[in-house]
Amino acid sequence: MPGVRNRGEMIRQFIIENVDSHPNDIVTLTSENFNISRQAVNAHLKKLISQKSITTDGKTRNISYKLHPLIEDTIIFKINGLEEDRVWRDDVKPKLAPLPDNIIDIWNYGFTEMLNNAIDHSQGSHVIINIKKYPSFSEIVITDNGVGIFRRIQKLLNLHDERHAVLELSKGKLTTDPDHHTGEGIFFSSRMFDEYAILSGGVYFSHEYNKPEDWIMESKSPTEGTTVFMKLSNTSSRKSKTIFDEYAGGNDYGFDKTVVPVSLAGYGNESLVSRSQAKRLLARIDRFKIVIFDFENVDQIGQAFADEVFRVFKNQHPDIQIYFVKASRSVEDMIIRALRSGD
């Protein structure tokens, strides 16, 4: 009996861990993985439903499954006079607990940084906080009714387009209030969580852990204010200190290194060929000691673009270490050409 019970627990744990990404074919996936019948999988699903671990949507052939949150709560606060550390301590942490210390540390950092952004920068009147804790992961969504983060950055930095704000956020050290903020909160939060996203205006910004590139897409239905989404496994071994150390250029633990997704310098599928695009990519890069240009999803670049980044800028800033990764053969050839012309 213990062996049967343990196998049953393994099957149900597998369902819990995979149903979120396989809502419509979790029966087939589980059946094939454990070499058991669909009827046996359905028996485990029924048990999980009775335990309120998962729920169903639809009927018969159109049925789909999804996780049922262990805890779900939505709280609305007036921004005026709000203190992010008090909200974390009194309203959020108790709902997430118990969780390992490293997970609590990440949630503490990310939640308080994002709520503080809404308090200090949104110019809104209210903020809505939605908390969901599932058996295998937790999610928090913070929504304010302010001017919108991308629109605010665009206006204050005199950028041509809201999408430029995403490129600047992805570099790090971006703040519209340097006397009170370092500009590190969004950068590090986006790299601590399994999934991190910002929806504001007509732009959606997303970053996933272990995927160095950030990506954006335009929303068909522009929204007011700003919504920040954060998701993290309840059993992750990740530590906030590890993320901080990853972007420290030396032993002083300063924020000296950045990874820049080159694809964000253009719009949609446009080619990166001009010096103006390169200058957009290079804005504020001189604040770092180590810069890594990530050419993921960039098939080719023009001579002027490569020359501006890898010869002109490099010659003007000899103390900055510049590297590139994930370059296609044609991109690498153009970079090498620019580097050789600078010798």
Of 46-55, 164-173, 325-334, which has the strongest mean pLDDT?
325-334
Verify cis geometry, omega within 30 degrees of 0, for the bond prior to 98: yes
Q: Read out DSSP for 207-257?
A: EETT----EEEEEEEEEEEEEEEEEEETT----HHHHHHHTB-STT--B-E
Is the Cβ–Cβ distance between 102 and 237 less than 8 Å? Answer: yes
Torsion of CA 163, 169, 173, 179, to 10 degrees: 70
pLDDT tens sequence across 82-130: 999 999 999 999 999 999 999 999 999 999 999 998 998 888 999 999 9
Tell which phi-psi region holds residue 297, choosing left (phi > 0), alpha (psi between -120 and 50) or beta.
left
Q: What is the pTM (predicted TM-score) of this model?
A: 0.73
Q: Where are the alpha helices (DSSP H) in 157-203?
A: 162-171, 185-192
The confidence score (pLDDT) of residue 106 equals 94
Token digits of residue 170: 């992805």
Question: Averaged over 296-324, what is the pLDDT?
Answer: 90
> What residues contact residue 278 under an 8 Å CB cut-off, 6+ apart?
265, 272, 304, 305, 306, 308, 309, 313
Query: Residue 266 has which token pair?
Result: 């253009």
The average confidence (pLDDT) of the chain is: 84
Summarised one tens digit per residue, pLDDT across range 312-332 is 998 899 999 899 988 899 999
Neighbours of 254 (CB within 10 A): 13
Cα angle, residue 162 at apex, residues 157 and 163 outer, rounded to 5° = 110
Among 180-194, 267-281, 293-307, top mean pLDDT goes to 293-307
pLDDT at 220: 62
Cβ 306 vs Cβ 272: under 8 Å: no
> Has residue 212 got a pLDDT over 60?
no
- Nearest to 164, CA basis, from 275, 256, 277: 277
Distance CA 149, CA 142 (A): 13
What is the pLDDT confidence band of residue 222, given thresholds at 50, 70 and 90? low
- CA distances (Å), 107 to each of 7, 195, 239, 317, in order? 33, 13, 11, 37
